Amino acid sequence: MKGLPICCFISRQHKHPSKRSEETMENPQLMSNSGCSENLNQAANIIVNHDFSNGLHSWHTNCCNGFVVSAECGGRGKPLSSSRSSGNYAVVTNRTKCWQGLEQDITSRVLPGSTYSVSACVGVSGPLSGSTDVLATLKLENHGSATSYMLIGKTSMSKEKWEIVEGTFLLLAVPERLVFYLEGPSPGVDLLIDSVVISCPSSSESESASIGAGDDNIIINPKFEDGLNNWSGRGCKVALHDSMADGKIVPQSGKAFASATERTQNWNGIQQEITGRVQRKLAYSVAAVVRIFGNNVTAATVQATLWVQTPGRNDQYVGIANVQATDKDWVQLQGKFLLNGSPSKVVIYLEGPPPGTDLLVNSLVVKHAEKTPPSPAPVIENPDFGVNIITNSQLDDSTNGWFPLGNCNLSVGSGSPHILPPMARASLGVHEPLSGRYIHVKNRTQTWMGPAQMITDKVKLFLTYQVSAWVRIGSGANGPQNVNVALGVDNQWVNGGQVEINDDRWHEIGGSFRIEKQPSKVMVYIQGPGAGVDLMVAGVQIFPVNREARFKYLRHQADKIRKRDIVLKFSGAGSSSLSGTNVKVVQTQNSFPIGSCMSRTNIDNEDFINFFVKNFNWAVFGNELKWYWTEPQQGNLNYKDADDMVALCQKHNIETRGHCIFWEVQATVQQWIQALNKDDLMKAVQNRLTDLLTRYKGKFKHYDVNNEMLHGSYYQDRLGKDIRANMFKTANQLDPSATLFVNDYHIEDGCDTRSCPERYIEHILDLQEQGAPVGGIGIQGHIDNPVGPVVCTALDKLGILGLPIWFTELDVSSINEHVRGEDLEVMLREAFAHPAVEGVMLWGFWELFMSRDNAHLVNAEGDVNETGKRFLALKHEWLSHARGQVDVQGQFNFRGFHGKYAVEIDTPSKKIVKTFVVDKGDTPLVVPVEL
């Protein structure tokens, strides 16, 4: 960004020409350029006083001086040419910086989505040896964000003649203030301006064009029709082709394609700078046609990436999208991106294949993304909630309706449970007993062999189905066995729930699924034990769940555990005469913590911050506190991003979770750490603990000490079993104020036997037995098609430990915003209604800044979607308000959620407002209100 001293922001009243001294009134020695003003297209010129016929009216100097002279007057020496359209030109003098020049505010005269042509006739005068550049520039200013600049055009100047600076620009959104200015000659050299024209050749069309149409590709030369103009190699060479491989590779469209060749790194590729053509807070769609060639590689990932430089910050790399490309055909890569801040430089590039493999590009299109219309609420006729879609589930007709998947044998046995599995019972309520018959599967030679049934015609789109079954395994198993209820949906595997079995008892499987695109075939089957192990299956139930009925139950549960009876007891002067006085109680904040994930780039977007501060009271950082972020190379510490985010949270009284000190999954561990020997690794671990917890002592309420220990064991494998407990002990010593959490995923959905509630409980108890001060249980909550009783069962099991439970990374995903909103409501209501849950953190809410697609509550450009509306309605529901009158005892009674309140009393003489807080408690809370 150009340096702007304070003087640039003070008043610039230069409406009248200033006088120059004889010393500075030097002959500019300009020769006519065949009347360069005649070449300027002045049609629909948006520049006011373009030829300086009215002095400097509407123009302002930028931290320098300026005046207008007549060409006929000239000065001493040879007169200026009078063949221009005007007899006047501007002189900008006393320039001490290259960027000082002449400017005009054009904010109100520029339309978004229109292309403007710029042409200015300019010259230079003064102590100049050789040549110098004159630049045409746009300055874009928005309140609360850094000023950005767009270079329009540049020309090289000498003292002999007038020259033309020309170029074009297009803005997809007009900033709060848009300034055009001319700048550039060396300090001490005067800038001369004869005339300026900025016009829109198709202004009538532009006025009616909609920015949302996204018709304007901001990539220059997108199909290489102009060779490699505006393209370059990123760490490699680029070449242009009309064909390759003896004519086997030709463009999919157009006449040419480009290759990134002599690549020695995965990030080498082809790039184009798009600085000035991409605007902050606008969503852009990206589409590229790509393939690979050479080095005996037949398939590789190709990725579109943004390299962003922001003033005062480190380089940022924004992954846009990737696709699996081959050497056989062109494929299309598609994605979206949004920039929160005001970048000083933006480059888009394609990368990814292994070194030595050429990356071929046929075209690249980057447009303002069209807004996706809201998805309609699905209409489901006769949902038949609670009705089992499995044929012959009671096996009254032997195995009719079932068939063996693979070369196994099915028969019917007796002796299975007569009651529904508990999770199904919680959804269905009173239900007829099971028959006690089960399918016995023998002669299993593959793990996937088992009983199967076609249910294609019975499954309805967008309905959430609960899966339930009793399962058991026969003898001969070698260790624990996973048993899984699976669905084959057009040859795609869908997990309906699974359980680990290590004995001869009957076990419950509970899970769920939903189908959102019309399938041609849906098959359910039960699989899992090793080859040769018999499988027994009973009481298979697959039924659509009635979420509204569950919500009604959860409202009642939440009323019991999240509310309290409150008695406002008025006292003081005049309280004896208050009987019948109107009272209004408003809850200003529910005390149940609801927070969200954020990233450093998000806080550059004021719209994001406004939504965050208004709707969340806790924050967690997506990456900025993780070890691979704060110390990517050994000794190279980066806490600036986290510091900025902590400061923001403190400013807005938002509590923070520290995620995470360590991450036990090896793929997340930096290479420099993995290269350390055992002793050095132990020192690095200790340094990490000391650096992080000392720096932020008292600032993070929670820490996830060692993330995902049920799914990884890197530190334990390298440093021994004691290291996990020691991490907790050391963290507690360094910051005793923080609650230390375990944190893992798939705890609540029945989909992963490694992290089932029983395994999690065993893991926590083991840590506690080693002296680890585990203070909280983190359930991440990355869940699909949640079913309340399945989630609640996991919470009930974990609740026996007596530790606070938090959903730490909650997100749900559905193409349909209404269904997604319903999924989110399921999870929030289950959490709010469970006594062991003490808070919920969403894993983001803003489109393009979440780890999963179709999971957002707010669209990229700030529109709250149907999911977000459901979230806001739920938050509103959890605020208690009451109206009434003071009784004869001078009291007002109501029942309300825990949290902060304001009470307003209208007395005959005045209106009184008092605040109070309602904490948890089993007895009525008496709140004295002194008048």
Question: Domain boundary at 368, 393, 424, which?
Answer: 368
pLDDT confidence of residue 375: 85
pLDDT at residue 573 in the model: 65
Residue 553 lies in a domain: no
Question: 3-class DSSP state for residue 866?
Answer: helix
Task: Extract the runs of DSSP E, i.e. beta strands, from 237-372.
Answer: 237-241, 257-261, 269-273, 283-293, 299-309, 316-326, 331-338, 345-351, 358-368
Terminal C-alpha separation, the chain: 58
Question: For the residues 372-401, what does the mean pLDDT come to?
Answer: 94
Q: Check: CB of residue 527 under 8 Å from CB of residue 484.
A: yes
CA-nearest of 263, 207, 179, 172 to 44 is: 207
Q: Does 8 score more than 70 pLDDT?
A: no
Q: Is residue 49 part of a domain?
A: no
Name the percent of the chain lying above pLDDT 70.
Answer: 91
* List of residues 6+ apart from 507 with CB closer than 8 A: 470, 471, 472, 483, 499, 501
Q: Tell me what pLDDT residue 215 has.
A: 53
> What residues pair up with 117 in beta bridges, in sequence order?
168, 199
Beta strands 837-842 and 805-810: pairing type? parallel
| Domain end point (choices 517, 542, 567) | 542
- Can you tell me the mean pLDDT for 545-561? 97
pLDDT of residue 76: 29
Q: What's the whole-number average pLDDT of the chain?
A: 90
Q: Show Cβ contacts of residue 913 under 8 Å, excluding neighbours closer than 6 positions.
A: 902, 903, 904, 905
The pLDDT, as a whole number, for residue 12 is 27
Structural domain count of the chain: 5
pLDDT of residue 148: 83
- Looking up tokens 């529901």 gives 877
Active site annotation includes 225: no
Residues 62-114 have pLDDT tens digits of 888 999 887 554 432 233 343 344 478 899 999 988 889 999 999 888 887 78
Same domain, 749 and 864: yes
Domain span at residue 170?
Answer: 60-70+85-199
Exactly one of 809, 817, 825, 847 is catalytic; which is it? 809
Q: Is the pLDDT of residue 236 over 50?
A: yes
Please name which of 428, 676, 459 lies closest in space to residue 546, comparing C-alpha atoms: 428
DSSP string over 466-489: EEEEEEEE-S---S-EEEEEEEEE
Q: How far is CA 449 from the centre of its chain?
A: 41
Instruction: Indicate the burial class of 628 (C-beta count within 10 angstroms; 0-12, 13-18, 19 or more).
Output: middle
Average pLDDT over residues 719-730: 98
Kindly state whether residues 106 and 94 are assigned to the same domain: yes
Residues 441 and 474 in one domain: yes
What's the pLDDT at 476? 86
Compute the distance between CA of residue 307 and CA of residue 348 in angstroms, rounded to an integer: 6
Summarize the confidence of residues 223-241 as an average pLDDT.
Answer: 96
Q: Distance between CA atoms of 391 and 518, rounded to whole angstroms?
A: 21
Q: Are residues 661 and 803 in the same domain?
A: yes
Q: In whole angstroms, what is the distance from residue 74 CA to residue 88 CA?
A: 10
Under the banding of pLDDT at 50, 70 and 90, the label for residue 600 is very high
**Does residue 223 carry a pLDDT above 60?**
yes
Is there a single domain that holds both residue 564 and residue 595? Answer: no
State pLDDT tens for residues 288-307.
999 999 999 999 999 999 99
pLDDT digits (tens, 9 = 90+) for 491-529: 899 999 999 999 999 999 999 999 999 999 999 999 999
Q: Is residue 223 part of a domain?
A: no
What are the CA-CA distances from residue 37 to residues 69, 101, 159, 184, 247 (Å)? Answer: 16, 20, 18, 20, 50
pLDDT at 38 over 60: no
Among candidate residues 652, 594, 591, 651, the one with its CA nearest the CA of residue 620: 594
pLDDT score at 34? 40
Same domain for 480 and 615, yes or no, is: no
Nearest Cα residue to 537 out of 468, 599, 592, 476: 468
> Residue 10 has what pLDDT?
25
Q: For residue 408, is the peptide bond before it cis, meaning its omega torsion is within 30 degrees of 0? A: no
Beta-carbon-side half-sphere exposure of residue 668 (alpha carbons within 13 Å): 19
Q: How confident is the model at residue 575 (pLDDT cuts 50, 70, 90)?
A: low
Which of 834, 859, 878 finishes a domain?
878
In a domain, 605, yes or no: yes
Q: Residue 890 domain-assigned?
A: yes
Look at residue 15 and tell me whether its pLDDT is greater than 90.
Answer: no
Confidence at residue 71, expressed as pLDDT on a 0 to 100 scale? 54
Q: What is the mean pLDDT of residues 206-225?
A: 65
Q: How far apart are CA 385 and CA 650, in angstroms?
A: 47
Q: Is residue 445 in some structural domain?
A: yes
721, 866: one domain: yes
Identify the CATH number of the domain in which residue 890 sits.
2.60.40.10
3-state secondary structure of 270: strand
- The pair of three-digit structure tokens given for residue 178, joined into one six-digit string: 């848009």
Is 50 exceeded by the pLDDT of residue 207?
no
Same domain, 518 and 505: yes
pLDDT at 159: 72
Q: How far apart are CA 392 and CA 211, in angstroms?
A: 58
Query: Are 737 and 831 within one domain?
Result: yes
Evaluate if residue 225 carries a pLDDT over 90. yes
Please enumerate in sequence order all residues whose Cβ is within 8 A of that of 248, keeping only pairs 6 or more positions apart, or say none. none
What would the pLDDT profile of 752-794 be if each residue is shown by its tens digit? 999 999 999 999 999 999 999 999 999 999 999 999 999 999 9
Counting every residue written for the chain, the total comes to 931
Q: Which pLDDT score is estimated for 3?
A: 33
Question: Which tops the pLDDT comparison, 159 or 685?
Answer: 685
Q: Which two tokens stand for residue 844?
A: 């983001």
**Token pair listed for 127:** 């102590």
Q: Which residue has the tokens 């006025």?
A: 207
Neighbours of 683 (CB within 10 A): 11
What's the half-sphere exposure (Cβ side, CA atoms, 13 Å) at 330? 19
> Per-residue DSSP letters for 734-757?
H-TTSEEEEEESSSSSS--GGG-H
* pLDDT score, position 218: 95
For the segment 217-232, the average pLDDT, to the nearest whole number, is: 95
| pLDDT value of position 577 | 74
Q: Does residue 217 lie in a domain region?
A: no
- pLDDT above 90 for 880: yes
3-state SS of 228-267? CCCCEEECCEEEEECCECCCCECCCCCCCEEEEECCCCCC
pLDDT, residue 157, reads 84
Residue pair 927/567 in contact (Cβ under 8 Å)? The answer is yes
Mean pLDDT (whole number) for 434-439: 98
Residue 408: pLDDT over 90: yes
Which tens digit of pLDDT belongs to each residue from 831-859?
999 999 999 999 999 999 999 999 999 99
What pLDDT does 204 receive?
A: 39
Q: The tokens of 285 are what?
A: 């769609």
Mention every residue, 6+ apart, whose C-beta is less than 8 A from residue 788.
426, 427, 545, 547, 550, 554, 826, 829, 830
Q: What is the mean pLDDT of residues 336-346?
A: 93
Give yes or no: residues 691 and 794 share one domain.
Answer: yes
Please report, for the domain that includes residue 657, its CATH number: 3.20.20.80
Beta bridge partners of 299: 326
- pLDDT for res 169: 87
Residues 639 and 698 occupy one common structural domain: yes
Taking the C-alpha atoms of residue 272 and residue 39, their distance in angstroms, rounded to an integer, is 31
Q: Are residues 310 and 249 in the same domain?
A: yes
Which position has the higher pLDDT, 719 or 202?
Answer: 719
Q: How far apart are CA 310 and CA 305, in angstroms?
A: 16
| CATH number of the domain that residue 457 is part of | 2.60.120.260
Confidence band, pLDDT 50/70/90 cuts, at residue 907:
confident
- What pLDDT shows up at residue 683? 98
- Would you say residue 531 lies in a domain? yes
pLDDT of residue 742: 98
Backbone angles phi, psi at 457, to 5 degrees: -80, -5
Q: In what order do the strands lie in the sheet with 257-261?
A: 237-241, 257-261, 358-368, 283-293, 331-338
